[in-house]
Structure 1
Amino acid sequence: MRAVLAAPPPTLLVLAKAPVPGRVKTRLTPPYSPEQGAALAGAALADTLAELGRVPAGRRLLVLDGEPGDWLPPGWQVVPQGSGGLDQRLVAAFAAAPPDAPALLVGMDTPQLRAEVLAAPLAAAARGGVDAWYGPATDGGFWALGLARPGRALAERLLLGVPMSTDRTGAVLLERLSAAGLTVRHLPRLTDVDTAASAAEVAALAPDGRFAACWREFRTARQVTG
């Protein structure tokens, strides 16, 4: 019981791009305009930050490519993203986390994420014997990665050279986790918002969020002008 009470609260990391037209959600164009794609990205990011604000944490770090705006809620510290490919930027994100507490990183592409999905497995009483947390995505990638003992060296070992944005990304990462001898707790499989079809699917899964409201607004506008 004393060990559970003394366990440090986790660090939550969100890797994101500022919602600037032409720089985010470019695969949504067409049918969406760059401005609409950015609005959907901003809504997805807002939903993600709000939901993670409900997960007990010691620190909340937004690892951001770009400048924060009035969409940033209180309680989040902004950390600039590192340079290089996605694998290098993921390593830099984990390197920004305190090494003495578990760290879990998610992206901005799963606005249907609910706090309970992370709060339960990250609770101190549930962390015994767990070295890593892994959230698979339906496209073969991953939407979450957590490390019980984060740090640059381990992150480099796990992530550098993993082919990103392919249908094998998640499988390769799981192989790395296994080869490192880590005990992995699997999180639910989620769909990333990458295309118009996946945007519609995610909006239906979380109809009360900002993302779904934004998606409905644009759908209605297309129907009126179509």
Structure 2
Amino acid sequence: MSTLLVIAKEPRPGRVKTRLTPPFIPEEAATLAAAALADTLAAVAATPATRRVLVLDGAPGPWLPPGFDVVPQVAGGLDERLAAAFAGCDGGPALLVGMDTPQVTPDLLTVDFADCDAYFGAAEDGGFWALGLAAPDPALLRGVPMSTPVTGAVQRARLTDAGLRVRELPRLRDVDTAADARAVAAAAPGSRFAATLARLTAATATTVPTVPTVR
């Protein structure tokens, strides 16, 4: 593997994980996003690669481990930003992931293009959590409708229509809603994300006022 790409937003309240509010307040949603990003970056840092790149909307924070190049996201829709991320790989093999799947592991991210041209990791919500290209071509992403129930199907069809040999990665669940957060935390009980969710859930439970029972 030559390049591992992570595309992410700086975890600032009100800008990330807005579908977690409610039940969480924006500051808590941003804390969960930071934990998910930290887990993702840790998995990438532990995966063999020639280069590791964080393609970031915002500014780096304490969640960023050493060993990453940080490049800003370009303007435009998500398809344009993903295309630009691959364009920066100078034509070498690359695997791109987002910050919404803190359950990823180095084993999942270690891919070999010896017998294929692309890797595709579908997400349960109809999108995709990973895309690997042996010879990155930004045109494979431009124009793909993002954040829709058919995003993954359209993106995968782009690969096969281009004649690429595609290997499937396991289907994973993105963290978008509170139900997603609970399911992902259960799938990765030792993660920062799971610990953060447990702490915030416990704190919320202790602050909910009780209603006296009328007898």
Classify the TM-score, shorter chain: over 0.9
If you compute each CA radius of gyration, which structure gives the higher value, 1 or 2? 2
1:43-84 CA distances to partner (integer Å, 9 max, x unpaired)? 000000001111100000000000001211000010100110
Matched, 1:117 2:108: yes
Q: 1:163: Cα distance to partner?
A: 1.1
Amino acid at match of 2:198: R
Partner of 1:148: 134
C-alpha contact 1:65 1:81 (8 A) present in aligned 2: yes
Partner of 2:207: 225
Partner of 1:32: 24
Number of residue pairs matched?
Answer: 208
Q: Give the alignment's Cα RMSD to 1 decimal.
A: 0.9
Find the aligned partners of 2:40 and 2:15 in 1 and give their Cα distance: 19
C-alpha contact 1:103 1:146 (8 A) present in aligned 2: yes
Structure 2 stretches of 5 or more lacking a match?
209-215
Structure 1 stretches of 5 or more lacking a match?
1-8
SS of equivalent residue, structure 2 residue 171: coil
Q: 1:21: Cα distance to partner?
A: 0.5
Find the aligned partners of 1:46 and 1:182 in 2 and give their Cα distance: 32
C-alpha contact 1:11 1:98 (8 A) present in aligned 2: no
Partner of 1:75: 67
Find the aligned partners of 1:90 and 1:52 in 2 and give their Cα distance: 18
Partner of 1:6: none
Amino acid at match of 2:116: V
Q: 1:129: Cα distance to partner?
A: 2.7
SS of equivalent residue, structure 2 residue 114: coil
TM-score by length of 2: 0.94
Runs in 1 of length 4+ with deviation above 2 angstroms? none
Q: 1:98: Cα distance to partner?
A: 2.8
Find the aligned partners of 2:206 and 2:46 in 1 and give their Cα distance: 37
TM-score by length of 1: 0.90
Amino acid at match of 2:97: V
Matched, 1:104 2:95: yes
Find the aligned partners of 1:159 and 1:98 in 2 and give their Cα distance: 16
Partner of 1:19: 11
Amino acid at match of 1:146: G
Matched, 1:64 2:52: no
Q: 1:27: Cα distance to partner?
A: 0.8
Which residue of the other structure, out of 142, 152, 155, is the alignment partner of 1:173? 155
Partner of 1:131: 117
Identity %: 62
Find the aligned partners of 1:174 and 1:69 in 2 and give their Cα distance: 33
Q: 1:107: Cα distance to partner?
A: 0.1
Find the aligned partners of 2:170 and 2:120 in 1 and give their Cα distance: 9
Partner of 2:165: 183
Amino acid at match of 2:165: T
Which residue of the other structure, out of 36, 41, 53, is the alignment partner of 1:49? 41
Find the aligned partners of 1:66 and 1:41 in 2 and give their Cα distance: 14
1:137-191 CA distances to partner (integer Å, 9 max, x unpaired)? 00111000010011xxx222x1111111111001111111111000001000000
Matched, 1:196 2:178: yes
Which residue of the other structure, out of 141, 147, 153, is the alignment partner of 1:159? 141
Which residue of the other structure, out of 170, 175, 198, is the alignment partner of 1:216? 198
Find the aligned partners of 1:87 and 1:117 in 2 and give their Cα distance: 23
Amino acid at match of 1:155: P
